[in-house]
Each structure stands twice: as structure tokens, then as C-alpha cells.
Amino acid sequence: MNNKKALVGALGAIALATTSLAAHAWPDRTVTIIVPYAPGGIADIAARTVAEAMSGTWGQEVIVDNRTGGAGFVAATAVARAAPDGHTLFVADMGVNVINPYLFDDTPYDPATDFRPITMISDTPLVLAAYRGAPFDTTEEYLAYAEANPGELSFASAGIGSLNHIVPEWINYETGIDTVHIPYRGGAPAATAVASGEAQVGVLALSSVGPFVDSGDIKVLGVARQERVESHPELPTLIEGGVPNVAAGQWAGLFAPSGVSDEIADKIYQDMVAFLETDEARNTFAERGAIVSPMSSEEFGQMLDDLREQFSIIIEAAEISAD
């Protein structure tokens, strides 16, 4: 019996040592970060920024692979099917990890089980923006006008099912107002529509409305965040303006295929956060209108669960569908 116990103990020690050795040796070849969008977007910029930094930290080449198409299905499916050895990572956003399963009848991956959240990388704040000639200057005034004039106001979005579409519907849901959705082909045309008065309001990236604010064509009513933006402390949150619960940004997060070992996931997390907490990282993202937003894997996972629950309700209530 004693010999049997000793053998079991020895085998356990060998297994633990082997796992630790694998984590210590990782990565032993090129690491690929898959991005579901074309170069130049928020997720792509986040991926390329951390890829450059991690190439030095890990002593291996870290490359970005833009796999576009199918509302992120192509990239997400590739990551879900990848070997969970830490050499394939995923930088993605709200659309792929929260919205898609509720927007499409058939999604070929399950973000809740196919991916392991590592950390959020960056967050680009969204703001409720209005045409300069709109008869309201604050979130409170917007809500009052919309309540008194149901169905009169229109909001621009980057397309059906986009975050810019769902957040205004969330505002409608929380406050009981009725506004009309006008979808455009991307965030830039949506911002232009608000600046020209073609649509009265829009929920847009703070970074994209800056030039229109400077020119006087757009006014910002509030920020869709739990707290004010440090770079723009004068802007109140939508929650302060009377819209409960509404807080969502255009974030980029880092994921690995589910099944990756705790040791490798922890190393990726520690190395990534060490970089994100540097002035270099903060300044690089700030130049692009984003906020460095590292959080623990547990916090990130809980945030995703909360968002999925909330967005499933909003998408159903607003009858939003891409099919």
C-alpha cells in the first residue's frame, strides 16, 4: 500500500512539474493574435500595440492575423478550434463576445464556453451626441423632449445590431422614450449624419466626434460610462443625466481558446497587464482616444456575463435581428 501511495504521489509530482515546465517554456514559437476585423479598427490597434510589446517580453514573434468576414464568425470559429496551447490568442470586442449570439439565429461558436477571458486591453468611451441645432443641450433635456415628442427624434448608428444601435435602444428601454433608428454603413457616416442634422442624435465614439465638437456641429450630452472620463471631466455620465444602468464602451479584450492551462493563461495575463500599466501603453492608447483598462480575468469574465444578460434583454425588447 505504501509503495502504491508513493507511486501515485510521484506521478502527481511529475505531472505538476511537467505542467509548470510547459508554462515556463511557453511560448516556444510564434504567437498569433487573431482579430475579426480589418486593419485600422479599435480591436486591430489594440492587438498590434500589445503584439509589439509582447514580442520583446516573450522573446518570440507575435503577429496579428486579420480574419474578416461573417460578422466575426470566421475569426471566432478559428480561435474556438485552435489548439489551447497559448500560441493562438484572440483580440475581440462586444460584437463578437456579447452581441452576436442574440443577434443571429445560428452562431457557429459560443463565446461563453469557447473562449477564456484574459483581460480587457482598452476601452473607447461612447457618448450620446446631438446635432448642434437640436432643441436640447443635456441628457435630461433630451429625455424630456423625447418623452413629449414620441417617435419624432431619430438616432444614427453604424448598422443594425452594432453597439451604436443597441445602446440607444437600451436608453429607450430604461427610460420609456421612443426614438427612430437610422442605420448607416459604419461609424463615420453615422457621425456625419448627426453633424449634418440628418439624424438628431447618435451614440458615437468620443474619439470620432472630437472634430465635429471642435467645429461646433455636434454637442455631447453625456458619456455611456459608470464614471466620468478622466480626459473630459466636464462631461457627465448618462446615469447622472437620468438614464439608469446604461454603461458600455467600444472595448477590446484579450482571449485564449478555452482549455488553455491556468499556468499559461496566468503568464499571459501577468505579462500583458505589466505592459498595460506602463506610461508607454497609456500614452499610445490615449493618442487614439482609448483608455487602457486592464482588469483581472475574473472581473472581465463577470463583466461579460453581466453584459450578455443585459444585452439579451435589450435585443429581444427592441426586436433587433440580423437575419
Cα distance between residue 219 and residue 212, in whole Å: 8
CB atoms inside a 10 Å sphere around CB 316: 11
213, three cell numbers? 465638437
Q: Choose the CATH number for 126-223 among 3.40.190.10, 3.30.70.100, 3.40.50.150, 2.60.40.1180.
A: 3.40.190.10
Q: Is-same-fold flag (30-124+249-317; 126-223)?
A: yes
Cα distance between residue 190 and residue 202, in whole Å: 7
Query: Strands 154-157 and 180-183, how do they pair?
Result: parallel
Domain boundaries defined on the chain: 30-124+249-317, 126-223
How far does the chain reach from its first CA to its final CA, in angstroms? Answer: 63
Print the SS3 string covering 273-306.
HHHHCCHHHHHHHHCCCCEECCCCHHHHHHHHHH
Q: Which CATH superfamily is domain 30-124+249-317 in?
A: Bordetella uptake gene, domain 1 (3.40.190.150)
pLDDT at 323: 75
pTM above 0.85, yes or no: yes
Sign of CA dihedral 55, 65, 116, 294: positive
Sheet holding 88-92, edge to edge: 62-66, 31-35, 88-92, 250-257, 115-124, 291-292
Print the SS3 string covering 128-163.
EEEECCCCCCCHHHHHHHHHHCCCCCEEEECCCCCH
Low-confidence ranges of the chain (pLDDT < 70): 1-24
Query: Strands 88-92 and 250-257, how do they pair?
Result: antiparallel
pLDDT at 19: 46
| Contact present, 187 and 200 (Cβ < 8 Å) | no
Amino acid at 322: A
Enumerate the H helices of the chain as residue ranges: 2-25, 42-58, 73-81, 94, 100-103, 111-114, 139-148, 163-175, 187-196, 206-215, 262-276, 279-286, 297-317
Convert the pLDDT of each residue in 137-154 to its tens digit: 999 999 999 999 999 999
